[in-house]
Homo-oligomer: A and B are copies of this chain.
Amino acid sequence: MADIARLAGVSTSTVSRALSGSKLVNDETKTRIAELAKSLNYSINIGAQNLRLKQSRTIAVVIPSDSATRQHLTDPFFLGMLGSLADALTERGFDMLVSRVDAEQLDSVSQIYDTGRASGIILIGQWRHHDQLNELALRQVPLVVWGAQLPKQLYVTVGSDNINGGKLATRHLLDQGRRAIAFFGDIQLPEVSQRYQGYCAALSEAGLPAREELVIAASFVEDGGKLAVTELCARQVTFDALFACSDLLAMTAINSLRERGLSVPDDVAVVGYDDIELARYFHPPLTTIRQPMPVAGLALVDALLQQIEARVSQALLLETELIIRRSSQ
């Protein structure tokens, strides 16, 4: 207010009176002071607005990080997704702002948008953040999430058909004559839970029950497969097949089975999930459920751009596909 007073050549109390609409200040001065106040704000806004325009060619890709596990960005699925998004954004003329946000403070994601650093947000890693993501959607932050469609969902998801993926994997193992099929995955995660639904449905089609003792809550960490095999063997339950909810889980499990003298696929037939680049080069080459990675990047980007431009976009479910290789037959 002191600045405005000095610049307008009046006293601070005049500015104060003028801004509060007092009749003690004449109209010419009142208008001048109002304009001056507005103008000073306005010029700051121009700055922000210009910067926002310049930066509108930026989309943020957020990968929540769990401070407990300190998961590093070495998981080939996440890296493949990053590459796919970078290619898709380049093709559409955008830069990619990669930000890892503490999973416990997911609402801080909106700052990236509010400050004009990005025109919208693609979030990879739905995990258990359903409620927080709904809040972000309510705040009208342009947002697309890679993950599963859930009941009472206010945000837009692009994901692959996890239920069918689980069905395809399990049916294939049943077709190979396997009957005791272990399941590796943490069913508290939405995508894994849907894969488990598919697994149960396929077993049910074959007249088999889903047996609790064959389900291991394996997590997507580097030695997840090894830990899961250890737990399964400790339960002393017989099994002749394994459906793992990521290729990395499947691969580390296979290496662990081999160390225990079990042969893949003869003793245990294995199906993974994702079809990461190295699945085909693995020994033995890995049977898996393919998530359509190159398509996924473009689908996420286009869903977000549609939302930014038209303020509307729909959830999208991409097809999953069974890729049969040596590890299961």
Contact = CB atoms under 8 A, between A and B. Distances in A.
A87 to B, nearest CB: 5
A87 B73 contact: yes
Interface stretch (A97-105, A133-141, A229-237): A97-105
Nearest to A46: B44
A311 interface: no
Main secondary structure of the interface of A (DSSP, over half): helix
Interface in A45-99: 45-48, 51, 54-55, 58, 63, 65, 72-74, 76, 78-80, 82-84, 86-87, 90, 95-99
B115 A54 contact: yes
A9 interface: yes
Contacts of A20: none
A116 interface: yes
Contacts of A116: 51
A127 interface: no
Interface residues of A, number: 54
Given A51-B116, A281-B283, A96 B98 contact: yes
Nearest to A42: B43
Contact of A86 (B28, B46, B73, B277): B73
Interface stretch (A33-41, A156-164, A187-195): A33-41
Contact of A47 (B8, B44, B78, B98): B44
Contact of A97 (B58, B73, B277): B58
Given A95-B97, A281-B278, A32 B47 contact: no
Nearest to A115: B54
Interface in A271-328: 277-278, 281-285
A6 interface: yes
Nearest to A326: B283
A95 B95 contact: no
A95 B99 contact: yes
User: Which of A55, A73, A115, A277 has its CB near the most chain B CB atoms (within 10 A)?
Assistant: A73
Contacts of A115: 51, 54
28 contacts: A7-B32, A7-B39, A9-B9, A9-B28, A40-B40, A43-B44, A44-B44, A44-B46, A44-B47, A47-B48, A47-B51, A48-B51, A58-B97, A63-B86, A73-B83, A73-B86, A74-B87, A74-B277, A76-B277, A82-B82, A95-B97, A96-B98, A96-B99, A98-B98, A277-B278, A278-B278, A283-B284, A283-B285
Given A7-B36, A39-B40, A98-B98, 10 more contacts: A7-B7, A7-B39, A45-B47, A46-B47, A47-B48, A63-B86, A76-B79, A76-B278, A251-B281, A282-B283
User: Nearest 4 CB-CB pairs, A to B?
Assistant: A47-B47, A278-B278, A283-B283, A73-B83
